Structure 1
Amino acid sequence: MDISQLPLNALRAFEASARHTSFTRAGLELRVTQTAISHQVKALEDALNVILFKRLPRGLTLTDEGHALLPVLTDAFQRMSATLSQFEEGNFHEILTVGMVGTFAIGWLLPRLASFKAAHPHIDLRLKTNNNRSDILIDGLDFFIRFGDGAWHGTEAIHLMDAPLSPVCAPDLRERLRRPADLAGVELLRSYRIDEWPMWFKAAGVTAPNLRGWMFDSSLTLVEAAARGVGVALVPVAMFGQELQAGRIVQPFPITIATGGYWLTRLKTRAETAAMSAFRHWLLAEIEGARQAMAR
């Protein structure tokens, strides 16, 4: 099919409708009426001779054909937008979009961003934080720094650093924790990785208590809850050096467990740009410098 025959507005109408699963919300985004969006999508379906949406009483759902078309258009529109934005105000800037877990962003990256800006002033870095669950393509990410074992389908992963987990709590609570078994008598704050506390108790040589109660989807909120005396959190302590040094939290036991590490990932189908290469080299050099400094 000759894509030059496909109306651009119809492609934009479909892409926005698919993201929102709504003609109305797509119309608000594109500043046209819901009726106009519906007509444009219907025109696209007629041109392609396929059905892209199932129209339901309470919204839309994509057909298989719609699912196949959406990521291609999303990627294309994001690339066009990123390229055009490089020419804002008459100056050329390379844009680099990096997603990462919030723990790594606050605990490691942010204190070092000034050095990246000084070394690469022509690169506009855009950061997106999440709780390790993101779609590199749909979210328009060049890189995604994530926590895990490095095995993600369709991605190239470069190991950045290990992130052993250890309990932390408020200083007042530490007085009640003389030995690991004492943790059975306090509130244990959990992440959605439900195997972490059992693994830690096994490493400590103690039978794990029944785990229930508070659960969080971020180490940042886990540590904040621990610092406020809610309970004991099991977190990657290397990311919370400032809180430990300031005395907001303490590490009652030195026992750690390894459940994964931080990785720099990108889609294997994503060609590395000059900005991506610059960020990758800078990041690895910073990590190696920090590792050597700790060794000294």
Structure 2
Amino acid sequence: MQLPLNAMRAFEAAARHLSFTRAALELHVTQNAVSAQVKNLEARLGTPLFRRLPRGLALTDEGQALLPLLSDSFERMHAVLEQFEGGLHRQVVTVAVVGTFAVGWLLPRLPAFQRAHPAIALRLLTNNNRVDLAAEGLDWAIRFGDGAWHGTEAQALIAPPLSPVCAPAIARRLRAPADLARETLLRSYRADEWTRWFAAARVAPPLLHGTIFDSSITMAEAAAQGAGVALLPPALFGEALRSERLVQPFDIGVTLGSYWLTRLKSRPETDAMRTFADWLQACIRVDANTPSASARDA
């Protein structure tokens, strides 16, 4: 059965909005045109796709079955067509990135990557270090840990040490690491971080009772607002430290893991994937040789 593309597009938009009027606005046509296209599709299929109600539309069982298929197909078509933007075939590289690394390291450098590699379109998905490379169809995942993930190849990127950071008002009360026992210590889901930092500082750890966060970015914002002291990698929160929204009261740091670039061993590595990986490693080498350089110089 050959079905008209315009009619399927009109149905998909109307089904998402449950409104011919809003579908018409999205498609830049008239409401009557959308209604006519949908009626044409219903006639071709020999079944109604909508129930017309006094105050809107409702999908029939047939319409509900058709909508996800068409939505997925149009999304796939859009993704492929985007690769030909400006007459240039663009290769898409899908990368999942733990939020702290994305905001503190990767995002400031992305304009440099885009200028150097205009034929590669990065698709970035942020997460809290929990990813499924196969299920999410990822080319790469940048995550924090020890590099040992089953079935993956892992390339080490950076291993920034963790150190306490807090709002300036709290920092003024801190003279020595032992003073932290009187403060609220914000925690991540990795339970041993503060214990290991106090061991590095040679101070007995206090009883921990602060809020537990699943995102370092959220924890940093809580610390900046005075909710307590967070244990974070200062190297990835440079902007907040430079603006003095956050202060690092002690120079003591503890390294508990690294950020890694990972991919499934079973996933063939494309030229675009290799280009992205090589660029990351080149930036890491520049940072290692010029530690005072800003992200804008990468």
TM-score (norm 1): 0.72
CA distance in 2, matches of 1:119, 1:215: 40
SS at match of 2:291: helix
Q: 1:278 matched to which residue of 2?
A: 275
Query: 1:219 is matched with which residue?
Result: 216
CA-based RMSD of the aligned residues comes to: 2.8
Alpha-carbon deviation of 1:140? 1.8
When the two structures are superposed, what TM-score results if normalisation uses the length of structure 2? 0.72
* 2:93 is aligned with 1:96: yes
State whether structure 2 residue 213 is matched by structure 1 residue 208: no
Deviations, residues 146-180 of structure 1 (Å, cap 9, x unaligned):
01110000100000011211000111111211111
Aligned to 1:243: 240
* In structure 2, C-alpha distance between the alignment counterparts of 1:293 and 1:233, rounded to whole Å: 28
Aligned-partner Cα distance in 2 for 1:34–1:160: 52
Aligned position for 2:182: 185
Partner of 1:57: none
Measure the CA separation in 2 of the matches of 1:143 and 1:34: 40
SS at match of 2:142: strand
Residue of structure 1 in register with 2:259 after alignment: 262
Using the alignment, how far apart are the partners of 2:76 and 2:153 within structure 1?
20
Q: In percent, how many aligned pairs have the same letter? A: 56
Aligned partners of 2:107 and 2:130: how far apart in 1? 20
**Cα separation, 2, equivalents of 1:243 and 1:38:** 48
Within-5 A mapping of 1:42-61 = none
The corresponding residue for 2:226 is 229
Counterpart in 2 of 1:127? 124
Q: State the AA in 1 paired with 2:234.
A: V
CA deviations over 1:64-116 (Å, ceiling 9, x no partner): xxxxxxxxxx9xxx999855653467542111111101111110111111110
Query: In the alignment, which residue of structure 2 is the partner of 1:171?
Result: 168
Match of 1:154 in 2: 151
Q: Secondary structure at the match of 2:221?
A: helix
Amino acid at match of 2:215: S
Residues 88 and 119 in structure 2, CA contact (< 8 A), matched pair in contact too: no
Which of these two proteins has the greater Rg computed from alpha carbons?
2
SS at match of 1:92: coil
How many positions carry a matched residue from both structures? 236
1:294 is paired with a residue whose SS is coil
SS of 1:184 mapped into structure 2: helix
Look up the equivalent residue of 1:244 and give its one-letter code.
L
In 2, Cα distance between equivalents of 1:251 and 1:110:
23
* 1:117-159 CA-partner distances (Å, limit 9, x unpaired): 1111011111100100011111221100001110000100000
